[in-house]
Each structure stands twice: as C-alpha cells, then as structure tokens.
Structure 1
Amino acid sequence: MYRHSLRKRVAIAFALCVAVLSIAWGFAFFAAVRLSEDRVLTQQLQVAADNYPSITTNLRGYDKVANLPQSLKKWAKTNPELGLYEFDSEELHVAVIAIDNKQLRGFVVFDVAGIEASSSEDWWLLLIISSVVGTLGMVGFGLGIIVMRRAVAPVTQLAKAVGEINPEKLSSEDHKRIDSSRFTDDEVGMLAKTIEQTLERISAFVTRERYFTSSASHELRTPITVITGALELLEQSQLSATDMKTLDRVRRATLDMKTTIEMFLCLARETDEGLYDEQFLVMPLVSNVIDLQRHLLSRKLVEVEIEQLANPRVYGHPQAFSIAVNNLVRNAFEHTLAGQGPITIRIEQQQLLVTNQLVSAAAEQYSPSDASPHGYGLGLGIVQRLCERNGWSFSLLADEKSVVARLSW
C-alpha cells in the first residue's frame, strides 16, 4: 500500500531518477578522468623506458628565443602573450611565463610525442565514451519508466476498473468493480471513492426507475382499459346524437391519454427488451395515425395529401415511431386554420416530411426563429428525445409560407 499522496510519489520518483543518474554520471566522469591520468603516466613512463639508459625529460625550460626548437623560433619572435599554447603538428605544448622581474619572457616546452594518443586511439576512446553515455541514457530511461509506473500504478488500476464498466448497460453491481478500499487515503483514493459512490447512486436510481415503470405501466393502463371497455358497452346502447358526440369525444380523449401514457413510459424505460432493433413498415403506421387524428380537421375543410414515393422499412421501436409521427401529424392538424392547406405528408426512402401551408395572418404570428423542437407544439421535445433513443433525427424548418417537420432514419 502507498503511504504518500500521488503528488509526493511523482516528486519522489523524479528526484530518485535524477539522483541515480547523477551518481552514475559522476562515477562515469570520475572513471574517465582516472583512466586518462593513468594513460598519460603510463605513456610517459613507456617513452622513458624506450630511451633507457639515456633517459631524457620531455619537459624543458628556455629563457631565450634562440635556444628554442627551430619550429618555435619564428612564433616566439612575435612576442606572444603569457599563457598556454598547443602546436599539434609539432606535438608540442608551450607555456609562456614572465621571468627576471617580469621584464623578460621564458618558455616551458613539453614534448608530447609518443605520449598523446594517436588518431585511431582517439576514435576508439570516443566510441567507448559514446557507448557508455548511450548505455547510461538507456538505463536512465528504463529506470524512469519503472519508477514512474510504480508511482502512477494506482491511477492505472482505477482507470482499468472504470474502463471495464459499460455506461450503456449499468448494473447494480458495477460500483463494486471500483473497490475503493484498495486505494489509500490520497487523491486517487478520494477519486475512487467518489466514483464508487456515484455509480452506487446511479445503480439505485436505475433500479427505482425500472420498478416505477413496471408498476406505472400496469397501474396507468388498467384504468384506460376499464374506460375503453365501458365505452364499448355504451356504444351498444340506444344513445341520442348528442350523447354519441359526447361519447366520441370521450373516446378520443381516452385514446390521447393512452398515447400519452405509452409515450412517457417509452421514454422512461432504460431498456425495452430489444424492441429498438425491430424492423417495420412506415406506411401502415402513418395511415393509422392519420385516421386517428382526422377528427381534428372535421370542421376546417383542409385536405390531407399523402405522397408515397417509397415504401421504406425502419429499424427501431415501432411504438416510439408511431408516437413521434402521431405528435407531428396532430400538431400539423391542430395548427392548421380553416381553409389553410393542404397538409402534405411525404414519405421517402430515408425520411418523412409533414408540411403545413401558412397564410399571411398565420405567418405574422409565427416566425422562422420559432422553428425549434420546443417551439411548435407541446410534443416536439418528446419527439426529439424519441428520435435520439432510436438513432433517428428530427428537425423543424419554417419560412413565411410553410412549416416542415422532417423525421429521418
């Protein structure tokens, strides 16, 4: 278990990598210096051994320019400044110093012939140093990866646990995948605990939603079924024309209530037992909806034109599609004034268009800026949600002459 916070662990890991690399580089440079020092002494001793018994020194002092080696005389006559000079071609190193109370100049010449490494040896040394540097770099990189992985291991574990959860199919056991007890009381532990509690609340909400929709589906549909049965019995009785009109209004109100209940239950359900993959024909549903809502045009003298350019099949929830079309058609029928028309319902291979014609008076009351899923009819926001659930698209277009509701699949 980790005893420090994530921020401290990352800082410690970084400091550890820097410290280890610094120590490694320090030992490498120290070894290089000692190797160079030993090599110079060894080479100088070898030169002396090769000249035995006449041992000559490689380091000599000169107080006059005339006594310098011939290759240095011309340079010395230019009165060089005090300091150190190197002559690669002659293999000489020269130090210019002040003598005789700084009035004259002396020369200390170091003959490095046979002591300095040859060009081939320099290349080998460069290759060795480059190899050591590369090896240390790779070791440092690998060490950094290992240390950082250990430092952020809790984050990786949490991300893996969250990644195994399917947000589209949450279950009541998904919050147990996090298991926040595995993490210490740091930033990661706090995040894990928060995610676990959030998933637990979501799981509880899903459970309550499923229980509510299953109970509401029965409790709300039962009264509608009873009312429908009573209406059927009343139809068989001897009723006056006025009573029949009243009965017809009750029947339509009951049907609207049934449709509304089914619509909201459809939206409330988290899952619907695979009905979103069902294939169905569009035309029968459209025809049924028009028949159900035609009473809204009984006194308006408005024609309904159906243009069937194709006979498409749609994948999704047939009840949701019927509810969406029912809302569009009912809105079109309700918002059409007497003598204003015709209302056109156009069925194409990939879309359904419901068009209202506007007269000048209606156009003044309705502007294109109102053409939103929530600006034309109470149920268009619901239509938008139904389309989103089924992978369809809905749009509402308006101008000065017409309003077009488009449902695409």
Structure 2
Amino acid sequence: MYRHSLHKRVAIAFAMCVAVLSIAWGFAFFAAIRLSEDRVLTQQLQVASDNYPAITTNLKAYDKVDNLPQSLQTWAQTNPAVGLYEFDSEELHVAVIDTGNEQSHGFVVFDVAQIEASSSEDWWLLFIISSLVGTLGLLGFGLGIFVMRRALAPVTQLAKAVADIDPEQLSNEDYKRIDANRYTNDEVGMLASTIEQAFERVSAFIARERYFTDSASHELRTPVTVITGALELLEQSQLTPADMKVIDRVRRATYDMNKMIEMFLCLARETDDGLYDEQFLVMPLVRKAVEQQRYLLNGKLVGVELDELANPIIYGHAQAFSIAVNNLVRNAFEHTLAGQVPIAILIKEHELLITNQFSGGDAQHTATETASHGYGLGLGIVQRLCERNGWSFSLHADTAHVVARLSW
C-alpha cells in the first residue's frame, strides 16, 4: 500500500532524483577543484625541490618596464590599466599594480610554464572528466527510470490486469485483479473502482443480452412456425385462385420474416458463427430479390433492366447480403411511379448499382425517407450489415434519380 496519492508520489520521486543528482554533481565539482589545487601545489613544490638548495619562485615583481621580460616590454609601454592579464604563448600571467606613480605601474609576473600540465596530461584530464560526466548522466537516467517506475507501479499493475481480462468471460480471478480494495484511496484507486463498476455493468449487459436473444429466438420463431404449419394445411384444402394469391403473399412474407429474425438475432449476439466467411455468388441473390419483389411493379408498367457486367464471387454473410439487396430492390420498386423509365440494376466486379426514377419533389429527401422506413429496414441497419461484412453502402440522389450503391 502507498501512503501518498499518485501525483504526490511522482513529485516526491522527481524531487529525490533531482536531489541525488545535485549532490552527485556537487561532490564531482568539489573533487575537481580539490584535485586542481593539489596538482598546482605539487607542481610548485616540485619546481622548488629541483632547484634546491637555491629556492626559486615563479613569482617576480618589477617596478620598471625595462626590467620586464623582453616579450612583455612592448606591451607594458602601452601603459595598460590596472588588472590581471594572461599571455598564453609566453605562458605568463601578469598583474598590473597601481603604485601611486602616474608615470609607471608595478608589475607582478607569474611564470606558469613549469607548473602547467603538458598537452597529453590535459587530454587525460579531459577524458577523465568527460567519463565522470557521462557516468553521472547514465546514473541519473537509470535512477530516474527506477524512481518513476516505482512511483507509477500501481498504474502499471492495473493496466496489465485490465489488459488480460476478456469482458465477455469475466471470472472471479478477473474481479480479484481489478478489485479497488487492492489499491489505495487515490487516483489509481478511483480508476480501479471505475473500471470495476464498468466491468460489472458490461457483465450484466452481456447476461441480459444472452437471455434476451435466447428468449427472443424462441418467442419470435414460434409464431412463424405456427403460420407456416397453417399455410401447409390450407394448401391441402380446395382454394380459389384468389385465395392462392393471398396464401402466396403470406408464405412470402413469412419466409422473409424468418430470415430477418435470423439476421437480427445474429447482429444482436455480435457473433458470426462462421457465417461471415461464406463464399457466394452475387448474381443469384440479386435475381432472387428481383423475383421476390416483382409483385410490387404489378400494374405500374415499369420494367427492370438487369445488366451483368461481371459475375463476382464475394465473401461474407450470404443472408445479410440477401436482406440488404432485398431492402434496396423493394425500395426502388415500391417508390417508382407508373409509366416511368425501367429500373436499372447493374452488377459490376466490385459493386451493385440500383437506379430508379422519381417524378417531382425533393428527390434527396424522398429517397432518404423511403430508404429509412421501407421494408422495416432503415439505412442504419443496411449500413450495419455492410460494416459487419466489410462492405460499403451509399445512397445518391439528384433532381430525378436515386442511385443505391453496394460495394465490396
């Protein structure tokens, strides 16, 4: 358990990381300064010991310009201001001192030629310092990752627990992994509690959905079966031609109803049972839809032009394709007025086009209205059928025509 909230733990972790790095850098710079001091003093002592018993010093004072080293006399004649100067080429450091005489200044010259490190030593020092800086950088990077991981460990644990859960098959172990009581009362605990409640709602919804589809499957199919049995009994009796037409209509409607029930139940369960991998021909289903809906053109004197530019074979749910095509064909037949140009149905390699004519009115509005309410299937259902199978559906209307396009 953690005593602090997530944002406090992150802030504390960041502060600790910065503090540790600051202390490390401070010790490193302090060590570099002390090393430089010791090195200068050691070199100075070495120079003095080399000249023993005559003790010499690298510091010399001059009160006249003529007494300065030859390399500095030209510079000193320019009457430089009081201050410190460095001459790299001569390896000299010069201090100009105010002696109270406006005509001349005093000079203190420090010869560092014998105590400065050689170029090879400078490169070694640079290498050592660079290595130290790089090591501290890597240490800080690793420390930052370690501290942040420790601070965010509850979030990572919760994310892994959620990633391994299947919402449709929640077990007791899954509930234990996302139990909000395992986390403290902070942001992570609130998130765990919310996820736990969401999974509970999903589980309850799935249970209700399964119960509904199982019940609906039985309750919806029962009346369809009763109607089918009654029609078979009626066909065995003596019927007039008019009665037979009525029975045919009832049989056709019952057949369509049974197929739609199967499709709706399949969509409600969100499962395919392998039906979405079927391979089927487009042309037979289109011809069947035209024949099933042709009675809607009785008395209208409107023909149907069915052009087969290709004979495509596609993958998907054959019944879903049949219902979508039946809906589009029925809309076209139902809302085409008498005496208009033939309804054009065009089958291409990758799309199906159904074109019918409107006379007067707002074609776009009329097309949308009829497609939304025709045959009990609106554009939303057709669109969903297409999405589940990887197809696409669109409806285009101009001033006189409506074109339904089903692509795969």
TM-score, structure 2 as length reference: 0.89
Structure 1: distance between partners of 2:245 and 2:183 = 71
Whichever residue aligns with residue 27 of structure 1, its letter is F
User: Any conservation in 1 of the 2:335–2:370 contact (CA below 8 Å)?
Assistant: no
Amino acid at match of 1:354: I
User: In structure 2, what is the equivalent of residue 171 of structure 1?
Assistant: 169
- Verify the 8 A CA contact 1:372 1:396 in the aligned structure 2: no
SS at match of 1:395: strand
Structure 1 match to 2:281: 281
Residue number among 361, 366, 371 corresponding to 2:363 in the alignment? 366
Q: Please state how far the C-alpha of 1:43 moved relative to its aligned partner.
A: 0.8
Q: How far apart are residue 165 of structure 1 and its match? A: 4.5
Residues 156-235 of structure 1 mapped to structure 2, 5 A cutoff:
156-165=156-165, 170-173=168-171, 176=175, 178-235=178-235
- Closer, same or farther in 2 for the Cα pair 1:47/1:261, shift >3 Å? same
Please tell me whether the aligned partners of residues 175 and 199 of structure 1 are also in contact (alpha carbons under 8 angstroms).
Answer: no
Q: Which runs of 5+ in 2 are unaligned?
A: none
| Partner-residue secondary structure (3-state), 1:202 | helix
Contact 2:367–2:402 at 8 Å: present in 1 too? Answer: no
* Contact kept in structure 1, 2:79 and 2:104, CA below 8 Å: no
Q: Is the 8 Å Cα contact of residues 356 and 403 (structure 1) preserved in structure 2?
A: yes
Deviates more, 1:133-142 or 1:257-266: 257-266
1:35-184 superposed matches below 5 A: 35-100=35-100, 105-165=105-165, 170-173=168-171, 176=175, 178-184=178-184
Distance 1:179 1:274 in 2: 36
- Whether the 8 Å CA contact 2:259–2:319 is kept in 1: the answer is no
Instruction: Specify whether residues 381 and 89 from structure 1 end up closer, same or farther in structure 2 by C-alpha distance, changes over 3 A only.
Output: closer
Deviating 4+ runs (over 6 angstroms) = none
Secondary structure of 1:353's partner?
A: strand
Decide which moves more: 341-350 or 247-256. Answer: 247-256
TM-score normalized by structure 1? 0.89
Tell me, yes or no, if the aligned pair for 1:307 and 1:345 is still in contact at 8 Å: yes
Distance 2:303 2:192 in 1: 62
| Deviation (angstroms), 1:89 | 3.0
Aligned to 1:391: 390
Identity %: 75
CA contact (8 A) 1:347 1:353 kept: yes
Counterpart of 1:406?
405
Per-residue CA deviations over 1:130-154 (Å, capped at 9, x if unaligned) read 1111111111112112222222222
2:292 aligned partner, one-letter code: L
| Cα distance in 2, alignment partners of residues 189 and 102 from structure 1 | 81
Kindly provide the CA deviation profile for residues 344-364 of structure 1, in whole angstroms up to 9, marking residues without a partner as x.
Answer: 222233222222134xxx243
The CA deviation string for residues 239-278 of structure 1, in whole angstroms up to 9 with x for no partner, is 3455445444544444454344334323212213221112
- 1:330 corresponds to: 330
Larger CA deviation: 80-89 vs 63-72 = 63-72
Alignment CA distance shift 1:314-1:166 (3 Å): farther
Distance 2:332 2:364 in 1: 16
Instruction: From the superposition, tell whether residues 82 and 161 of structure 1 become closer, same or farther in structure 2 (CA, over 3 Å).
Output: same
C-alpha distance 241-406 of structure 1, shift in aligned 2 (>3 A): same
Opposite residue 407 of structure 2, the aligned amino acid is S
Task: Indicate the residue corresponding to 1:357 in structure 2.
Answer: 357
Q: Residues of 2 paired with 1:78 and 1:369: CA distance?
A: 101
Alpha carbons 1:266, 1:320 under 8 Å: kept: no
Q: For residues 286-334 of structure 1, what are the alpha-carbon distances to aligned partners after superposition, in whole Å with 9 as ceiling and x for unaligned? A: 2332222222112212222222333332222222111111111111111
Q: 2:398 is matched by which residue type in structure 1? A: D
Deviation at 1:216, TM superposition (A): 0.5
1:75: how far off?
2.2
SS of 2:98 mapped into structure 1: strand
Give a deviation string over 1:10-66, Cα, whole Å, max 9, x none: 212221121111111111111111111111111111111111111122223233333
Number of residue pairs matched by the alignment: 404
Residues 172 and 207, structure 1, Cα contact 8 Å, conserved in 2: no
Q: Could you tell me which runs of 5 or more consecutive residues in structure 1 were left unpaired when the two chains were aligned.
A: none
Q: Name the CA shift for 1:256/1:341 in 2 (closer, same or farther; >3 Å).
A: farther
Deviation at 1:236, TM superposition (A): 2.7
SS in 2 for 1:49: helix
